[in-house]
Structures are given as C-alpha cells and as structure tokens.
C-alpha cells in the first residue's frame, strides 16, 4: 500500500509540475461555464429545470473531453519511462507492476476527479444562480460526475495499455489519438451509416443496441441520458437511448474500467525493459 501511495504521490507531483493538473482544471472549467451560460435557450416552457438541461449538454461534452483528457495524461505513463530509461531501475525494485499501474491510475484519476468536480460545481452554481428549481437536477449532475470519473478510468486504462504496447511516447500518442477518434467520433458515424444502409433490418434491431453498449463512450452517454429521462434533448445515435434498458448501460459503465485496467496490466506485464 505504501508503494502504491508513494507512486501516486510522485505521479501527482509530476503532473502538477508538467501543468497537467492546470490544463485539466482549466479545460473542464471553461467548457462547463460556456455550456451552462450559453446553452440556456431551450429551457423555455418545457417544464424542465435549468440544471437538468445543463447536465444533458455536459453529457455530450464529457463524451469527447473526458476520454481525451484521460488519454493525454496516460499515453506517456509506460512509454515515457521506457524512453527516459527509468523503467529498468523501477522494475528492479521490489514492487509489482500492478502496483505501479494502480499508483499511476490513482494520481491521474485524482486529477480528473478534481477537474470534473470543478467543472460540474461551476455549472451547478450557474444553474442555481438563474433558476430556483435547479435543485431538481442535482441527482442527474451527481450521476454525471461519478460516471464521468469511471469513463476517465476506462480511458486511462486504455492509455496505459497503448503506452505499454508501443513503448515509444510518439507511437503511444498516435495510438491514443487513433483510439479517441475511433471510439468517440468514427464509431457513431459508422453505426449511423450502417443503420441507414440496413433500413430497419436485423442490424438495427439486434446488433445496434449491443454495439452501443459495447463502446464505453456510448454506454456512458446512454446511461446518463436514460437515467435523467433527457432523451428528448438528445440527438444522433443517443436518440436510441429509450430502446436500451438502464441496467445494460450501467453494467457497461461499471465494467469497462475493470476491463481496461486488466488490459493495461496484461500489456504492461509483457514489457521487457
């Protein structure tokens, strides 16, 4: 335990000095503020409180931003150590590779958590300031917060796995951007075009829901939109949220961090310094 905490403390200090903490906090704060201040138009007479609407916008933002932040923080974790030449010495120490990974994960997850809490806190302040019914949206915001952190953990794990596989920071960065583009952007586009081509056949009814749940980013979006009943505010593939039961997307949200971490551990175990 001491070894994990010491690794986490050291990694947090490094991230603080490399400005990663500042970058994550500022990004989340700015985007959350912009969304909550500018995204106020659709409330009107819908009978939905201000905060719930902000949560729906924040969900769409988080799907892009959280994975990106997580991958940016994690791609260097193993490959950077290998390139600097610090890996052989570290692995000669009496510490298990899993302990190294968990230590790094704790530090990076702490930074993401700080960023998420700051961003969501600012968004809630804006909502409370302008709408006295905003309290109604608090459960949805809390749900968004913890599921964002789990989404971050998933992509941190994926980043460590890619970092172990490529062994060079430049290669790992390329793989990380590729993964982000693939899972967060292109995946949905591919599904949409498949649905259009399929025209209501087997793919749309059988494969499509599974494909959505299998992708951690889509599962995260579905979970938050279904849970808050905000599917009306959703667009694109997320419009399918009604068709998929909540427990399925929740299971995906909860399982993916463990799967990603297991993949990272397996990849890191194969690294020979």
Q: Which of 13, 146, 239, 245: binder of another protein (CB under 8 A)? A: 13
One residue of 44, 47, 85, 200 binding another protein per CB under 8 A: 85
CA dist list (Å): 72 to 61, 67, 143, 226 = 17, 8, 24, 29
Helix axes 50-74, 138-166, angle to 10 degrees: 10
User: Interacting stretch for another protein, rule CB under 8 A, among 24-32, 37-45, 90-98, 147-155?
Assistant: 90-98
Q: What is the DSSP annotation of 65-102? A: HHHHHHHHHHTTTTHHHHHHT-HHHHHHSS--HHHHHH
3-state percent helix, strand, coil for the chain, nearest multiple of 5: 85, 0, 15
Contact 154, 144 (CB under 8 A): no
Query: Using CB under 8 A as the criterion, what x/- string covers residues 136-165 for binding another protein?
Result: ------------------------------
Q: Interface with another protein includes 84 (CB under 8 A)?
A: yes
Kindly state whether residue 270 participates in binding another protein, applying the rule CB under 8 A. Answer: no
Of 52-60, 89-97, 156-164, 193-201, the segment contacting another protein by CB under 8 A is 89-97
- Whole-number minimum distance, CB 24 to another protein, in Å? 16
Residue 17 found at the interface with another protein (CB under 8 A): yes
Summarize as ranges the residues that interact with another protein (CB under 8 A).
2-3, 6-7, 9-10, 13-14, 17-18, 84-86, 88-89, 91-95, 272-273
């Amino acid at each position: 335990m001491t070894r994990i905490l010491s690794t986490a403390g050291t990694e947090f200090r490094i991230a603080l000095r490399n400005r990663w903490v500042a970058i994550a906090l500022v990004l989340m704060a700015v985007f959350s503020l912009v969304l909550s201040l500018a995204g106020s138009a659709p409330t009107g007479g819908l009978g939905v409180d201000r905060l719930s609407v902000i949560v729906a916008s924040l969900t769409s933002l988080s799907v892009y931003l959280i994975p990106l932040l997580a991958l940016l923080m994690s791609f260097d974790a193993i490959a950077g150590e290998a390139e600097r030449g610090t890996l052989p010495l570290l692995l000669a120490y009496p510490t298990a590779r899993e302990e190294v990974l968990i230590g790094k994960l704790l530090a990076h997850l702490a930074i993401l958590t700080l960023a998420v809490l700051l961003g969501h806190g600012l968004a809630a302040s804006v909502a409370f300031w302008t709408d006295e019914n905003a309290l109604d949206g608090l459960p949805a915001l809390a749900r968004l917060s913890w599921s964002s952190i789990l989404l971050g953990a998933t992509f941190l794990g994926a980043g460590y796995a890619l970092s172990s596989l490529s062994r060079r920071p430049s290669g790992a960065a390329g793989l990380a951007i590729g993964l982000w583009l693939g899972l967060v952007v292109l995946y949905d586009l591919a599904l949409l075009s498949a649905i259009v081509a399929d025209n209501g056949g087997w793919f749309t009814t059988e494969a499509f829901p599974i494909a959505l749940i299998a992708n951690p980013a889509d599962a995260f979006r579905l979970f938050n939109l279904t849970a808050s009943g905000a599917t009306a505010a959703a667009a694109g593939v997320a419009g399918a949220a009604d068709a998929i039961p909540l427990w399925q997307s929740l299971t995906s949200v909860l399982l993916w961090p463990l799967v990603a971490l297991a993949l990272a551990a397996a990849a890191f175990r194969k690294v020979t310094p």
